[in-house]
Amino acid sequence: MDSANSRSGLLYFADGGIVVNNLWDPFSPDQLIRYVDDFADCGIDILSQMVFAGGTTKPGLFAPDHPDVTWWENEHFRGMIDRGEQPIECMIGRAHERGMRFFAKLRMSDWHDHPPEARPFVTAHPELHNPSWPTRPVLDYSHARVREYHLSLIDELARRFDLDGISLNFIRSWYSFPKEVGRNYQSVMTDFMRQVRRCLHGHAERKGRSLELGVIVLPVVELCEDLGYDLQAWAEEGLIDYLSCGNGHYTDPNQDHRPWANLCRGTGCRYYPMLQCGISQQDKVGLLRPEHIRALARAMYDGGADGISVFNWVYYWARRGGVARYPGPGSGHLTALDYLRELRGPDAQADGSRHYLFRPIGMEWEASGRIYEENYRVVFPRRVGARGEYRFYLPEDLARCGRCELFVHALGLNSANGQDGARDQVALDVNGRAIPPAQIRRTFHLAGRLERFGAPLPPHTTLWFELAAPPARRGENTLGVHLTQTGTGESMDVTLEEVEVVVTPRSAH
């Protein structure tokens, strides 16, 4: 692994309101200290707390001086605010006592459905709204006044509070410009980032210490460019110190982290890919388990990550009916934070099993007339000689592991109730080397997979075998599925829907 990983760390993006963690009635400021302690106890290096969303100071951690920004009326904090105390100052002080850095995070293009009176600037200026979001008032950064509005708030935060940095979240309502022309405005957004950098540098000189800047963007470099974000320029000019990418909901199991790490390498910008706790759009009840988390973290570090950022982890204790909700404190809070201990470096996952779950996550985006879709289904015709190739990235040295098995779930293979000679026959290979037929196991799931067990699937066939190196290798691999004989039944396509790889460590005995 890259020697840069020696500086690995953990950045927690607290994007949900604090109330969903551990605040209760009657409220006291000590609860904010406990909130910060929960993160410090689990090894978080940087707590990046949302302070601005919807044109307002949600979740109400400070009363703004800015004339166009209102205080979010958070009843937990009203007493402190009325006394002239700023809740954010309590949190920053505790973070520093615990050796943790504290960033203020701003949602740059997201207003959700806050009432008009909570977002006076957005409400008062419909001429500044982005036409690419007709159902929600999102601001258009092609207008200088929009950029000045955000810059002035960043300036206030850096001036008033003892922050260590600022995080800018560009993945909530993620069009900063009209989607057809976003790429044409890269220079405009880069100039805005220069202004932010100069602002922070000025306050850092006055305070006698550094103020860092991080950004959160969507996980496709070309898409970011279409949206108006010249990440290469931001990194090379030293405008940003942290780059995190993610889609806001689900961690892509097959994402190639190397282009992102290469973009940052040699610039002083650190790459912290984003870990999110959902499994896929279709898997409404699925959250990452520790074995999934270890696998995803291992892939991030193997791809060159300097550390890992965490986003929307709140779903572990604020889910209801399979959809994110914010009903109040939940029992999953401390357990889910404890999962993060295994993210702190490239070797922290070695003692636990890793479950690599390669499957469609059901996300797609459109910008500049192009569709970006994370869809790892492989489809080929059901006829003799047809072949499908499923590519997956495995950041493992299997020779140093205990046991490894690969599972592929295929739709469209005729199993004919398991009667040999009537069902479809397939041959499997890994990286072009055949897997001996005697090593391949097979079962047909007539009832498919029910929603309570994950993403629903119709009737399908699972094929699996023990995976070794060779033929597997650390890095990119290809599973080949070759149809050698067709049985009875109608002609249809075969779909390789999912590939799973399970790795267990060597026994300690």
Domain count of the chain? 2
Of 236-250, 277-291, 308-322, minimum mean pLDDT range: 308-322
Query: Closest Cα to residue 453, out of 415, 400, 409, 501?
Result: 409
Indicate whether 395 and 272 sit together in one domain.
no
pTM: 0.93
User: What is the model's pLDDT at position 324?
Assistant: 41
The residue out of 351, 366, 390 marking a domain boundary is 351
Residue 363 lies in a domain: no
The pair of structure tokens assigned to 57 is 């100071």
End-to-end Cα separation, the chain, in angstroms: 27
Residue 360 vs residue 387, higher pLDDT: 387
CB-CB contact of 405 with 435 (8 Å): no
- Residues 6 or more apart from 196 whose CB is under 8 A from it? 151, 154, 166, 168, 213, 239
Say what the pLDDT of residue 502 is: 98
Residues 347 and 398 in one domain: no
Three-state SS at 470? coil
The pLDDT value recorded for residue 1 is: 35
| Integer-rounded Cα radius of gyration of the chain | 25
Residues 6+ apart with CB under 8 A from 5: 301, 304, 305, 306, 345, 346
Please state the φ and ψ torsions of residue 313, each to the nearest 5 degrees: -65, -15
Bridge partners (DSSP) listed for residue 278: 250, 287
Q: Higher confidence at residue 385 or residue 4? A: 385
The pLDDT score that the predictor gives to residue 234 is 98
Name which of 33-47, 426-440, 443-457 the model is least confident about. Answer: 443-457
Spatial separation of the C-alpha atoms in residues 73 and 403, rounded to whole Å: 54
Are both 238 and 347 inside the same structural domain? Answer: yes
Beta strand pairing status for 319-320 and 370-373? unpaired
Task: Inform me whether the pLDDT recorded for 500 exceeds 50.
Answer: yes
**What backbone phi and psi angles, to 5 degrees, belong to 270?**
-100, 140
CA distances from 63 to 27, 66, 67, 202, 474 (A): 18, 9, 11, 23, 52
Per-residue confidence at 147, pLDDT binned at 50, 70, 90? very high
Is 114 a member of any domain? yes
Would you state the pLDDT for residue 342?
86
Confidence of residue 344 (pLDDT cuts 50, 70, 90): confident
Same domain, yes or no: 347 and 414 = no
Distance CA 74, CA 3 (A): 45
**Tokens 């990046």 appear where?**
48
Query: Band of the pLDDT at 508, cuts 50, 70, 90?
Result: low
Give residue 201's pLDDT.
98
Residues 6+ apart with CB under 8 A from 339: 290, 293
- Answer yes or no: are the C-beta atoms of 116 and 54 closer than 8 Å: no
- In the predicted model, is pLDDT for residue 315 greater than 90? no
Q: Is the pLDDT of residue 414 over 90?
A: no
| CATH code, 69 | 3.20.20.80
Q: What is the CATH number of the domain that holds 386?
A: 2.60.120
- pLDDT value for 55: 80
Taking the C-alpha atoms of residue 475 and residue 455, their distance in angstroms, rounded to an integer, is 27
Please tell me the predicted confidence (pLDDT) of residue 19.
60
- Asked whether residue 315 falls in the same domain as residue 194, the answer is yes
Tokens 């080397």 correspond to 433
Predicted local confidence at residue 6, as pLDDT: 40
Answer with the one of 351, 367, 401 that is the final residue of a domain.
351
Average pLDDT, stretch 20-47? 88
Residues 293 and 396 in one domain: no
Asked if the model's pLDDT at residue 445 lies above 70, the reply is: yes
Does 329 share its domain with 429? no
Domain end marker among 333, 351, 369: 351
Provide the residue count of the chain: 509
Chain-centroid distance, C-alpha 439: 37
Domain limits for position 154 = 3-351
Q: Are residues 400 and 326 in the same domain?
A: no
Q: Is the Cα dihedral 88, 91, 96, 101 positive or negative?
A: negative
Do 384 and 338 sit in the same domain of this protein?
A: no
pLDDT of residue 285: 67
- Is 164 found in the same domain as 59? yes
Looking at the structure, do residues 261 and 393 belong to the same domain, yes or no? no
The answer to whether position 125 is within a domain reads: yes
84-122 tens-digit pLDDT? 999 999 999 999 999 999 999 999 987 776 777 778 898
Could you tell me if 13 and 309 are in contact, meaning their C-beta atoms sit under 8 angstroms apart? yes
Q: Over pLDDT 90: what percentage of the chain? A: 68
Out of 183-197, 290-304, 416-430, least confident range:
416-430
- For residue 318, what are the contacts with CB-CB under 8 A and spacing of at least 6? 16, 20, 324, 325, 326, 327, 330
Q: Is the pLDDT of residue 288 over 50?
A: yes
Instruction: Based on the fold, state whether residues 328 and 403 are members of the same structural domain.
Output: no
Taking residue 482's Cβ as centre, other Cβ atoms within 10 Å add up to: 17
Residue 209 pLDDT > 50: yes
CB 31: neighbour CB atoms within 10 A?
17
Average model confidence (pLDDT) across the chain: 90
Residue 482 has which token pair? 């070759």
The mean pLDDT value for 255-282 works out to 94
* pLDDT confidence of residue 17: 63
